[in-house]
Amino acid sequence: MLDPEQSISVRFERVAPLVESARGEGIDLEKLFASLDLPPQLLDGGRNEFISLADYYRLQNRLSILTGDETVHLSSRQLLPGSTDFVLSHLTDCENLYEVMCVVAKSYNLLHGGQFNQVEKKRGTIDYLIDDRNFPYAGINSSEEIYFQCECILIFLHCLLMVISPAARDAIKSLAICRPSPGGDCGHLGYWDAPIRFGSNIYKVSFDREAAMQRIKTPSPEALTANAVYQMIVETVAGKHAAIGKANAISARVRDALARGIVEQPDVAGQMGLSVATLRRRLAEEGLKFRELREEVLNETAKRLLKEGRSVSDVSEALGFSEARAFNRAFKDWNGVTPKTYLNQ
């Protein structure tokens, strides 16, 4: 189990409500934990144990896909998978980080149905503000849980901006958060190198104005995905503290990309900044092949979509098959039965 003194850590108790919600939806948690290289004993009373911050985000990423809600039931207003990809797709024409922040704030306000995000230009800073006082939280019973979720959203925001431009990495001057005081179970705040002010009415990340106004070159649209943001979180945490278990294993990162619908090997390799040959070699070092991982994830996704009541033709199209007949053949190869027989059983 993780030593909280050696890594930016999160008590598993914080993740347990998400896990229990997923269990209630029939998600195979043992298989999920195995695919993420998380210790299975966490599912049996491990609430006082710690996992790395990177593992927390990897678990959140996968649960957002499996539950069909990118907020993982944080909000009463569901965000369908692909919402963050939709936001990122509108950033390709931005000329600087200030414009990026404005588009991100406006996009998430539209998705959440309220003016929760705002960007202010000050003399020496560009401030990204989050006011959650009227946010439609769902199923959250404590202020502590809300503090934690909002603080994790700030980390997600920072890594999203770093996907757009590396200039965002060292551009933060300070933060303001609503948590009344430091101390307690706040290991995740070790992510930040900037000063943190506690007891604020709203959340604020202040970026150096000069850095935020510098002209940037945005990545290609193919590189702007939610999976790239989660990958950036893992890599950033790894850069701060190397002791994050297997969170940066190449197979886990490939599974995350496949689960997000990036199913072609050149596309997965490109998003990771690797050549196809290098991706194959690194998977081989873990005793795996891309084709095997692809079939595993596609099969898991196919079963989930079929259980949700999607038609065979819809599932076939969602998984990128040329026709339903080809999907039927593949499904039978994977499971020994056709999709129709699988559902009847």
Question: Looking at residue 302, which CATH number applies to its domain?
Answer: 1.10.10.60
300 and 177 in one domain? no
* pLDDT of 279 above 90: no
Count CA atoms closer than 13 A to 218's CA, side-chain side: 20
- Selection from 12-16, 203-207, 320-324 with the highest mean pLDDT: 203-207
Question: The tokens 């596309």 sit on which residue?
Answer: 267
CA distance 333 to 326: 11
Rg of the chain over CA atoms, in angstroms? 20
pLDDT at 106 over 70: yes
Residue bearing the bigger pLDDT, 273 or 28: 28
Q: How far apart are CA 159 and CA 60, in angstroms?
A: 15
Q: Which of 195, 213, 231 is the last residue of a domain?
A: 213
The tally of domains found in the chain comes to 2
Q: What are the C-alpha distances in Å from 94 to residues 9, 104, 202, 240?
A: 34, 11, 26, 29
Structure tokens at 113: 């149905």
Does a structural domain hold residue 241? no
Q: Are 279 and 290 in contact (CB under 8 A)?
A: yes
Look at residue 223 and tell me if it is in a domain.
no
Q: CA–CA separation, 136 vs 111, rounded Å? A: 12
Whether residue 261 is contained in a domain is answered as no
> Which residue in 240, 238, 239, 241 sits closest to 252, CA to CA?
238
The residue segments making up the domain with residue 93 are 9-213
Residues 189 and 315 reside in one and the same domain? no
Q: Which amino acid is at 145?
A: E
| Choice between 198 and 187, residue whose per-residue pLDDT is larger | 198
Cα–Cα distance measured from residue 266 to residue 96, given in angstroms and rounded to the nearest whole number: 29
Distance CA 143, CA 149 (A): 10
Q: What is the pLDDT of residue 314?
A: 83
Mean pLDDT of the chain: 85
**Domain's final residue, options 178, 213, 248:** 213
Closest C-alpha to 146, from 185, 179, 113: 179
CA distance linking residue 157 with residue 151, whole number of Å? 10
Mean pLDDT within 278-287: 86
Residue of 28 and 129 predicted with greater confidence: 129
143 located within any domain: yes
Examine the domain organization and report whether 196 and 299 are in the same domain.
Answer: no
Return the minimum-mean-pLDDT range out of 35-49, 179-193, 275-289: 35-49
